[in-house]
A and B are shown apart, each in its own frame.
Chain A
Amino acid sequence: MSNPFKQTRKRPGEWIMEWSIRLVASASIVMIFLILLFVMREAATLFVSAEATTEATSTPSAGSNMEPESYNPDAPAEAAASEPDVYNPEAEDPTTTQQQGEPGAPGQFIYASKNPKYPEIYNPDTGLLPEDIDVVAEDQAEVDTTRKTSVLSKLTGDQWQPVGDVPKFGVKPLLIGTLKTTTIAILIGAPLGILAALYVAFFAKRRVREVVKPAIELLAGFPSVVIGFFCLVTVASFIQDITGAPYRLNAVVGGIGLALAVIPIVFSIAEDALSAVPKTLREASLALGSTEWQTAYRVMLPAAAPGVFAAVLLGIGRAFGETMIAIMATGNAPLSSFSPLEPARTVAATIGSEMGEVVWGSEHYGVLFFMGVLLFVFSFGLNAVTELYVKKRLIKKFQGQ
C-alpha cells in the first residue's frame, strides 16, 4: 500500500536554520570557556615572564636587557614605554606628556593627586600612602631577596605597590579592601532590599506596589558611574560631616555606593522568591488566626528563605565585582586596615584603575589578569552555588512536601 503520509517536500532550509539556532545557542557556553581561557592566557604570561625574570636576575643585569622576551623590572620606565607593544592611550595628551618627564610615571592617568577637593592619598609614583613611608626604608634592604622570590610569594605579600623600582604585588590589602567594602555593602543593602521586597510582596496595596516595584527596578538601570559620582560628590560629604572621618572617601562611602548597586538585585530576586510562595500557605496561616505580619515574617519569609539567600549571594557577587563605584568612592588606596572609615581598594577597582596604564605583557599586566581570573572563579562559584544548591532546595520545599 502506498504511504499517503510520506514526506512530500524536503525542507533543507529549515533543517539548516534549526541547527544554526542550536549552534548559536551554544554561544553562551562558548563565551564562558573563552572568558576563562583568554583571561587565564593573559595571566599565564605572568608565570612565564616571572621565570624569565628569575633567570635574568641571576645573570649580570646587562645580559637581561638583551633577552627580548623577558620583562625587566629594573629597566627604566621610559625604556619600557618605547617598546612596540606598549599600550599608551594618552600619548597625544599634553598633560600626560608633561608627566612623562617625571620619573617612573609612563603614560599613566592624570591622577587626582593635584586635586585639592578630593585629595588622593594614594601616591601612584610609589604606590604608598604617606603614613607608610617610613616602612620603605626597611623594605629597600630586602630588595635583593624580593627579586628572587617566586610570583606566588610576591602575591602573598603585604603591600600593593605595582609601580616603582621594586614592584610589590601583595594582594592582601586588596582582599582586605574588597572584604571591607563588600561587607558594608551587604550589611546595608541586603536588609534594605529584603525588607523592601517583603513590604512590596505582602503589605503594600496593589497601587503602591505598581509604583514602588518599577521604581526600584529602575535603580538597577542606574549606570554605576552615576552612582559612583553621587557618592563622590554627595554621600562623601554627608558621611564626613556626621562621622568626622579623616578621609573624605573611605570604605563606608564606597560600601554605601555598592549597596545602591546591590539593593535592586536583592530586591527583585527576593521579591520573586516571596511572590512564588504558594498563596495557599498564606491563606492557611491567616485562616489559623495569625495576622498579616505574623504570616509574613513567620511563614512566608522562612518558606522563601532559599530564594532570599540566593538574592544575598548574587548581591555579594555584584558588590565584589563592581568596579566604577569602587574606584570612585572608596578612596582607592591599598591599605591593610580593617577600619571602615579609612580608604580601601578592591580587587576589581585595582584592575580598573591600573589596567589602562600598564605595559602590556608585563608582570604587572599578568598580575591584573590573574586577579581577573580570581574574580571570575569567585563569581562562577557563587552562581554555581545558587543554581545547583539553592534552587534545588527551593523546588524541594514547594513540591516535595
Chain B
Amino acid sequence: MQTSTSSMPLPKRLIGFFAVTIALTAAVAVLGIILGMVGSFVSNGGGGVTWTFLSEFPRNNNTEGGIWPALAGTTLLVLLMTILGVPVGTATAIYLTEFAKQDSWFARSVRFAVNTLAGVPSIVFGLFGVGFFIQFMGNGIDGWLGTSSFGDGSLLWSAATLAVLTLPVVIVAVEEALRAVPRDLREASLALGATRWQTIVKVVVPNAVTGILTGSILAVGRGAGEVAAILFVGVTYSSESIPSAVTEKFMHLGYHLFVLSTQSPDVDLTLPLQYATTLVLLGLTFLLNLTAILIRSRLRKR
C-alpha cells in the first residue's frame, strides 16, 4: 500500500489517509466506549463486590445489604429457561440441517419465523408472557386444576417467556454447529447402512455437542441480562426468600439494578450498590458470552 500511495498526487494520498483513518477511528471509538464502560464499572463497583454482598439479602428497603436473592433468582430463571428452550431449539436446528429440503415451503417458513422472532422487541415478549402464559395458560391451568397459583407472574412464566425470546439464539448457534459437521461423515455413516436417525444420534450430534453447548451458553447469557421481557411476568423487587416453587415470584439482577437506579427514593445513597450489582451482572454475562465466543471461534477454525 505504501508503494502505491507514494506515487499518487498529494490530495489523493490525503483522501486515502483520511479514508483509512476514519474507519480506524470508528473501530477505536467503539472499543474505547466498551473499555470506558467496563472500566467505570470496575473502578466504581469493584470494591463493593464482596462475599457478604453476594451472599446476603438486601436490607432496609434495598438500600443496604447484598444481592443474594437476585443472584439466586437469576440463576434459577436461566436454568429453567435453558431446560425449556434448548431442547426445542436443538430439535429445530436438527430439522433444518438434517431433514428439511432446503427449498421446501415449510423449511423456508421456519427460517423466516426464526429470523422474525429474533427481531421482535423484547417488550413484546413481555406482553406475550402476560397475554399468553399468565392470562391464557395460567388462568386456564388454574381453572382446570382449581388452583390459584398459575394465573399470576412467576418464575415459570418468566422462564417460558425467555425461552421463547432466546429460541432463535439457540437455533442459529446449534444450526451452525451442525453444519460444521462434514457432509462426508454423514455419507460414510449412511453408506454403512445406518438410518438417518442413527446417523444423527451417533455421528452428527456427538460432533456438534460443543455447538449445542455454545447455543445454550449464548441463550443463558442473553436471558441473564434480559429485563424488559420479564418486567410483568413474575419479577419482583423485594423478596424475603429464594423461590422454592416455580410458581413463586423472584428477584433478578437486572431488574434489581433497574429498581435501584431509577425507582429508589434515594438513588445517591445506593450508588455503590448499583455499581456493584452492575459489575456482577456484567461479569456474569461477560463470562458466558466470552466462553461461547471462544468455543465458537475454535469450532470455526476446525
Complex contact flag A–B (Cβ < 8 Å): yes
Residues of A within 8 A of B (CB): 11, 14, 17-18, 20-22, 24-29, 31-32, 34-35, 38-39, 41-42, 87, 89-90, 93-95, 109-112, 114-118, 191-196, 198-200, 202-204, 210, 212, 214-230, 232-234, 260, 263, 267, 289, 291-294, 296-297, 314, 317, 320-324, 327-328, 348, 351-352, 355-356, 360, 368-369, 372, 375-376, 379-380, 382-384, 387
Q: Is the CB of B271 within 8 A of A355?
A: no
* Neighbouring B residues of A233 by C-beta, 8 Å: 261, 271, 274
Partner of A110, one of B110, B263, B268: B263
* Number of CB contacts from chain A to chain B under 8 A: 303
Q: Is the CB of A372 within 8 A of B127?
A: yes
Partner of A291, one of B1, B261, B271: B1
- Contacts A29-B110, A348-B123 given; 12 further ones with Cβ under 8 A? A42-B135, A199-B23, A215-B31, A216-B30, A216-B34, A225-B281, A226-B41, A226-B278, A230-B41, A297-B19, A324-B254, A382-B119
Partner of A221, one of B23, B118, B128, B285: B285
Closest chain B residue, CB of each to CB of A28: B113
Q: Is the CB of A95 within 8 A of B265?
A: yes
Q: Is the CB of B30 within 8 A of A32?
A: no
* Neighbouring A residues of B285 by C-beta, 8 Å: 221-223
Closest chain A residue, CB of each to CB of B44: A233
| Contact A42/B127 with A225-B225, A352-B231 known, Cβ cut-off 8 Å | yes
CB neighbors of A among B98-143 (8 A): 99-100, 106, 109-110, 112-128, 130-132, 135-136
Chain A CB within 8 A of B290 CB: yes
| Contact A18/B99 with A31-B167, A199-B24, A215-B34 known, Cβ cut-off 8 Å | yes
Chain A CB within 8 A of B168 CB: yes
Q: Is the CB of B282 within 8 A of A226?
A: yes
* Neighbouring A residues of B226 by C-beta, 8 Å: 223-224
Chain A CB within 8 A of B209 CB: no
The interface on chain B, measured as residues whose beta carbon lies within 8 A of the other chain's beta carbons, has a size of 104
Residues of B within 8 A of A (CB): 1, 4-5, 8, 15-16, 19-20, 22-27, 29-31, 33-34, 37, 40-41, 61, 87-88, 91-92, 94-96, 99-100, 106, 109-110, 112-128, 130-132, 135-136, 152-153, 164, 167-168, 171, 195-198, 221-222, 224-228, 231-232, 236-238, 249, 254-255, 257-258, 261-268, 271, 274, 278, 281-282, 285-286, 288-290, 293, 297
Partner of A117, one of B120, B167, B255, B267: B267
Complex CA distance for A191 and B23, rounded to whole angstroms: 9
* Neighbouring B residues of A215 by C-beta, 8 Å: 31, 34
* Neighbouring B residues of A219 by C-beta, 8 Å: 30, 34
Closest chain A residue, CB of each to CB of B252: A225
